[in-house]
Amino acid sequence: MEKRVTFKGIWLPLLLVLPQLVITAVFFFYPAGQAVYQSLFIPDPFGLSMQWVGLGNFEYLLGNAYYRASFVTTAIFSIAVTVVSMGVALYLAVLADRLIKGSGVYRTLLIWPYAVAPAVAGVLWLFMFNTRVGVITWYLGVLGYDWNHVLNGEEAMGLVVVASAWGRISYNFLFFLAGLQAIPRSVIEAAAIDGARFWTRFRTIVWPLLSPTTFFLLVVNIVYAFFETFGVIHTITGGGPQQATTILVYKVFSDGFVSQDLGSSAAQSVILLVIVGALTILQFKYIERRVHY
């Protein structure tokens, strides 16, 4: 039975939702509106006047090799973060699911990284991989590998991917574990009796039944990699070396705040806004039509 509370007037309900509306307006609608507005202008270097350029900023961006390179970087980065964080999480969840005793301890331990702020996580990884004093760099040196993410773009990318994925593993792990535990034990047992060994069972039963969870996590993780990894990148590489780790969000920041090219930066924000909007629609559409077995 659903219980509905009905209010008589309009004022009380309005008052109750007002704080949320104000927050949304101040921190979302106003900046988003500003971004759309500013993306249509080029301000002069001193910020005293603005010149109307229509879609000029967008035209310039799409023709710009650096911006297009940043798209590719973002794609590589998000796919890598998503694959690494989901892959490791799934592996750990499968192990924890098979565990009967002590799974609570593992679960608790595995949730901790999620509580670490991205920037703090970035600093942690930065220390471990510091080119001079990093403990992992030192061990790699012992093994004969000269780690230097400050100069090597691929190593820099690897590092930010690992640092970003690390914090995500907890979140993905929880969802995967819940997904795995929602699969009836007897179905797995039936498959075992039918002759399927572990890997076959995983491929033909577990993975298909887990697919709603996987899809949900895929979207959530891509959105995360796109937008919430700023702190990690800012602390570890600052987008370098030579823009090797400049993803779209980071470029908004560096073009806007560092290079003071506000028009272009605003246009980039608008593009990101469209991308996140599209991802959100995709996600909601999917969740609404989610397959219920």
Do 110 and 170 touch, CB atoms closer than 8 A? yes
Contacts of 226 (CB under 8 A, 6+ apart): 74, 78, 247, 248, 249, 272, 275, 276, 279
Query: Which one among 108, 186, 199, 289 touches another protein, defined by CB under 8 A?
Result: 186
Nearest distance in Å: CB 200, another protein: 6
Nearest distance in Å: CB 214, another protein: 13
x/- letters, 273..292, toward another protein (CB under 8 A) = -------------------x
Residue 75 lies near another protein (rule: CB under 8 A)? no
Angle ∠(284,285,286) on CA atoms, nearest 5: 90
Residue 45 lies near another protein (rule: CB under 8 A)? no
Which parts of 224-243 interact with another protein (CB under 8 A)?
none
Nearest distance in Å: CB 201, another protein: 10
Do 118 and 230 touch, CB atoms closer than 8 A? yes
- C-beta closer to another protein: residue 101 or 132: 101
- C-beta closer to another protein: residue 24 or 204: 204
Q: Which residues pair with 135 in a beta bridge?
A: none
Residue 9 lies near another protein (rule: CB under 8 A)? no
Helix axis angle for 262-288 and 30-38, nearest 10°, is: 130
- Considering Cα of 246, then 250, then 256, then 258, what sign does the dihedral take? negative
- C-beta closer to another protein: residue 149 or 201: 201
- C-beta closer to another protein: residue 99 or 274: 99
Q: How far apart are CA 5 and CA 280, in angstroms?
A: 30
Residue 59 lies near another protein (rule: CB under 8 A)? no
Angle ∠(127,128,132) on CA atoms, nearest 5: 70
Give the residues lining the site for another protein (CB under 8 A).
Answer: 184, 186-187, 189-197, 200, 204-205, 208-209, 292-293
